[in-house]
Amino acid sequence: MKSVFFILFLVLFCSVLIWFFLCHRLFAMLEARYPEKYESMGKPTLIKNNTMSTNITFIKFLLRREWRDLNDAELTKLSRFMLVFWIIYLVGFLTLFSAVVSGMLL
C-alpha cells in the first residue's frame, strides 16, 4: 500500500508542476490578448500577485467558462483543458487525502 501512496503522491506532485506551466501560459495569453479581462481578474501571476482573491477569481473564470465570451479558439482550448485537468487533480487529491485520513495507505 505504501507504493500506491508514493505513486499517487508522485503523480499529484507532477500535476502541480504541469498546472503551474498551464497557468503561466494562460496568464500570459490573457495579459497579451485581453488586457482588460486580465486586469479585471486582478492581474494574476504565479508568484508576485498570487493572492487568495486572484486565485478565486481565476477559478471562477474557469468554472463559469468566462473564456467563451472572448471568442478565442486557442484560449478556449487551453481553458477547457485546464478545467478538466483541475477537476481530475481535485478528485485525485481528495482521494489521496481521504485514503490517508482513513488509514488505508499508511
**Over the stretch 11-64, which tens digit does the pLDDT of each residue have?**
999 999 999 999 999 999 999 999 999 999 999 998 888 889 999 999 999 999
Under a CB-based contact definition with an 8 Å cutoff, are residues 39 and 46 in contact?
A: no
State how far the alpha carbon of 62 is from the alpha carbons of 37, 50, 59, 84, in Å.
13, 16, 5, 10
Q: Is the pLDDT of residue 106 over 70?
A: no
Cα–Cα distance, 93 to 25 (Å, whole number): 23
Cα–Cα distance, 73 to 95 (Å, whole number): 33
Q: Which amino acid is at 28?
A: A
DSSP 46: S
Enter the pTM of the model. Answer: 0.86
